[in-house]
Homo-oligomer: A and B are copies of this chain.
Amino acid sequence: MKKKILIAGTFDILHPGHIFLINEAAKLGDVHVIVATDKNRETYSGEAPIVPEEQRLEVIKSLKNVKTAKLGRHDNDTLKTVEELNPDIILLGPDQKFSVDRLQNALRMKGLTHVEVRRLEKYYDKFKLHSSSFIKKKIIEKYKEKQLL
């Protein structure tokens, strides 16, 4: 049976870095994506995403290597999300702020000893706009240039 791989993120403006993470996860098994809710993202980073959660979810579901995708729990209980999905591996993205060790320990303390936490080390920067923030910045720069015309 194929392994269950969990990845999670906001996926505000889709870019090849997201796709790279999903494709690398797919080499390990079936990819199950948890998409952060608007509220949780706002709590976590102080800013709500541009694109609403249901729309972000629909885009993620349309990707070739995504087996299932759903929104995170509304109570933002990460460990509960992991318990429900019961993955073999959690693959963190190269720039995700979670610590592998802390997440691994937290899972152990909850009895989820079989879940392995890994980080994708390679940062995919083949293209210029390799993050949602870079895309947003470029949109704002273009807007500012126009204001000066």
Contacts and interface: CB of A to CB of B under 8 A. Distances in A.
Interface of A: 13-16, 19, 22-23, 50-52, 54-55, 58-59, 62-65, 127-129, 135-136, 138-140, 142-143
Nearest to A16: B58
Contacts of A63: 62-64
A129 B51 contact: yes
Contacts of A54: 127
Copies assembled: 2
Contacts of A50: 129, 135, 138-139, 142
B16 A135 contact: no
A115 B23 CA distance: 35
20 contacts: A14-B14, A15-B51, A16-B58, A16-B59, A19-B58, A19-B59, A22-B62, A23-B62, A50-B138, A52-B127, A52-B128, A52-B129, A54-B127, A55-B127, A55-B128, A58-B127, A62-B63, A139-B140, A140-B140, A143-B143
Contacts of A139: 50, 136, 139-140
Contact of A59 (B14, B58, B128, B140): B14
Contacts of A65: 62
Contacts of A19: 58-59, 62
